[in-house]
Structure 1
Amino acid sequence: MATGVEELVEMLFSMIDEAKSVPLSSEKCIIERDKALDLLDDIKAQFPMELGEAKKLLAARTDYIASAKREAELIRKQAEEKARQMLAEDELTAQARQKANEMLKVAEERSRELRRAANEYCEDALRRTEEAVSEAYDEIKRSRARFRAAAAGVQPASGTGSSGGAQAGRAVYDAEADS
């Protein structure tokens, strides 16, 4: 069984691509409606999982930012404590202030950099997920429209008894309608 939306869409594409042509027409083919609809149902079932992955990414981003803030706060507190200790010694007061400010600037810069990196990573991951979900959804809508058009265009078998023409009860896919 396929596990991802992309794989399911690929299976649907292969089914249509490998379908038998309708006699006397290179633009039309015959597919098994139930199999195609089953694939579409599987694709629809995968969307909640894809969205769940996007939510997990958002939660991971939030955790990452919170961790960066905690780390920055710890560094800031350490810098303040070190500065207090250095201030106790009169001869090192100026040096302590300078070092504390430097450590604080480094901590703040690191915090900003971690936050920026986390935001970029999550934005990129969410953008790619959104694009994949959007592409899959658009493909589903196009496929359903083609299948509905094909189902609406089914002609009953002629009473001549010949084996040519469409079989009764089978959907005929009209690729010309895709154009």
Structure 2
Amino acid sequence: MRAICPGSFDPVTHGHLDVIARAAALFDSVVVAVGRNSAKNYLFEAEERVRLVEEAVADLPGVEVAALDGLLVDFCREQGAGAIVKGLRFASDFDFELQMAHMNHALTGVETIFLPASSHWATVSSTMIREVAAYGGDVSQFVPASVATAIAAKVTQRREGVAAMADTTATHLDALREMVQQAKNVPMSASCMVNRADALELIQRARRSLDAELAKANKVAETSYETLVRAQQEAEQIIKAAEEKAEYLAGQSEVMERAKRQAAQLEARVTAETEALRREADAYVDTRIAGMEAGLAKTMTQIKTMRARLATRSGLDGGETAALPRVQ
């Protein structure tokens, strides 16, 4: 069966690759569908994300990469896929993905397979990677080497772009100031004469640069806000998962303590019962031995009586009787 692993992969992380590798082990072939959404502010363009994912999965047999436009179910139909594979990091992921799974199945009958994220990568997300990288943090342990290099280059490029726009605006303003400084003075006033067209052109250029800077700043602010919201949501999910884990471990600890107490009680009871059985067995054996002893004593008495009779009848003493031949 052919399966689809969809996602934005902006950027692709080791958590993504873990799910893809496990899916490849379950299905004949897997297509990694890199989604494109014009309403989103991506760190990497779709073509860049496709290339980075291709490099990351190059060593996985049976895995392909393709860009995803439109509905996922239509893509599944085009690819001849019978299943969608989704990785789940938290319980809250399941609530959303379950609705999508029901909808996709209702539309085309395609099944959705959920794979729980490996514990080592459960807290790693593309959102967190972008946020850490934007502030100069090292994300190399969470993504493939080629992706880490691409992230560093992209962050540097964005910073240089903002700096270049600021330099352009400053250049236009400096030119306007120089024009004013070199303009002819108006006699008997603090005014000066400048070329209106040239001045307006410089002002217009500065305005365009400022508009571009403001648009860029607004986009960065919007992206940062979205990232902050997602980071906060993920932080809440991590805290919730940690609380659930702590509660589970506490329950397990209580179960272990109860099991230890029950084991100790069982051991004490078995020891007591074993000791009682031992005493009963000793008493039984002692009774049997005492009976045997009494029987032997009676037999010895009878033997002595018989020997005494023989001695009286035949005039034998004890030594002579012992010398008589044995009856075969």
TM-score, normalised relative to structure 2: 0.24
More helix by share: 1
More strand by share: 2
TM-score, normalised relative to structure 1: 0.42
